[in-house]
Structure 1
Amino acid sequence: MTEFKRKPVTDIGIDKTLESIDEDRIKKAIDRVLKGEASARLKTFVTTCARCGMCSASCHHYLSHNNDPTYAPAAKVKQTIWDMLKKDGKVSKDDIKKYARIVFSECNLCRRCVQFCPFGIDIAYLIGLVRRICCLIGAVPQYIQDQVLSHMQTTNMLWFRQDEWLDTVQWLEDELRAEIKNARIPLGKKNAEILYLAHGLEAKYMTGLLTNMAKIMIVAGVNWTMPDCDGWDYTNKSFYAQDTETMGMVVRRHYEVAFKLNVKRIVMGECGHAFRTGVYEGARLLGWKEEPIPYIHGVQ
């Protein structure tokens, strides 16, 4: 592997955090994740990788950087979690800054490399562990930190208050009636077939997408509803930071609303990461082997 070379970048969420912590805190975070939270998959994947390079051509970061070997999935693991293991968690602040840059800006956990690995090594899982360590330390890009904090406080990604949500849906319903007579966007309706959750951006900046979904539901004659309370946003940016506590809280809220309204299924729009948190990662964090009621992607 050639030398790791990148242009310098700054991020207040990472740089300011590293100014205020010591290496003992870093060691404790690494030990907590790698020795306490990680599963047997960690040892299996790390010891199984043959460094064959089959994963390289699957990675869009590798391909878009002129096949620079330091962007290859296996190389990203070697430069992060393997480095931590080699040093027994005794890493420097500069090491953490390097790890954070790799796992937050050079891998989006798409898992495409898993399909190319002859051993089925889940590199996204390994990179996710590094993100989790950075999260516990607080070395997370500021933009992601802000959205995670918004999820913690409001259960949506954009600091949208509940009254703003209700006003927005009412306004969209009025606009929709210009095209469909007596159109309704039902809120808090019990015993509906579908609970539709929206993307945070649909409520604040891309309202036309929410209106289009309402048109589909109305014209198709679907018995549907949306939340009349917090928990309407299906996005879960805590996944990006691997803040598992907040991730589980947000997912639990989605199911709580569905239980309260006694719907038959949850439907969400376009967001692959949110789908993974609702059906897989988030559900398992809550102790469920599978989602308690069907959670369907809009494409399905």
Structure 2
Amino acid sequence: MGANNSKPPAPSPKQIYNRGMIELDAFVSNIGKLNQALSSVQGATDAIKRALPKIHITASQASYAASFTAFVSAAAVAVQFVQVYQGQQLIAELRKIREELVAQTGLDAPEKFAKQVYRYIDMKASGTKDSRREHLYFVYHPDNDWHPTFFTLVKSQPLPETFYGMSENLDALCVWMQFVRITFTKTRKPRDQPVFHILIPGYRPFAIPEPLTFPEALQPLCIHGLINNCKPYVQMNLPGADEDMLDGVGLWRKRQSWLGVFEKDKAPRQLGRIPKDAEESVCVTEDMRRVYRRKRRSRSH
């Protein structure tokens, strides 16, 4: 028999469309709500616009975009932008301190880190693909210089469909995750609700000292980090958090000075705070239901 020289079939338009990452611009659409308040500060609007959080999801989840935009507008989460921007300033200051603590792991190049993140997501998602309960994965990391290489990887080799997006801003990511949870509560029974996982990859130590709590709506939730030399790369200040939901993430605690006995800890701020009635703005479209039915069929085989 002769060699089979036939070429593999070309991907269909739908397959091409479902590859890669897309950016949700729902937050950007709300910049107009801030313009009036910031009009007296020269350049403030441009600075805030540059600092606006971005959500990146896979192209196969594009059916969520319109409903998410309406959700963000109804929830009026634009008021969180200034807080997020201040939070990024805090992270920038921490970077100056932690530069001396950079782990020499060979992952300093963004291209190498992008591949590490890709493999980390794939490893975690593959580990629960046979679970009776669905597990969804989200990624947070304050840097974004590795995004171009990561997006190229996802476009050429799509990640499992249980990867539900990423952001360099933790507040924005929590807003997106709450939206996803709400859509599931409208399409699934309580026993079919998935477990959410936030992956926080790292190639150098960083800490978030601001006291934070995660919205109760995200439960069941697990937060994962990486460990180097028996120490977690990521430390977070999570007062009262259930340590069972932390995997490779350290708890940051304020160092006590000799005046520490007189200092009071700040009350933790809830990440991605939205009003209780925001759920009413979420409209589950037939496309979203179709995605759920398709994923459910694939899990049953």
- Give the TM-score, by structure 1 length: 0.25
Greater percentage in helix: 1
Larger strand share, 1 or 2: 2
Structure showing greater relative contact order (alpha-carbon pairs closer than 8 Å, 6 or more residues apart): 2
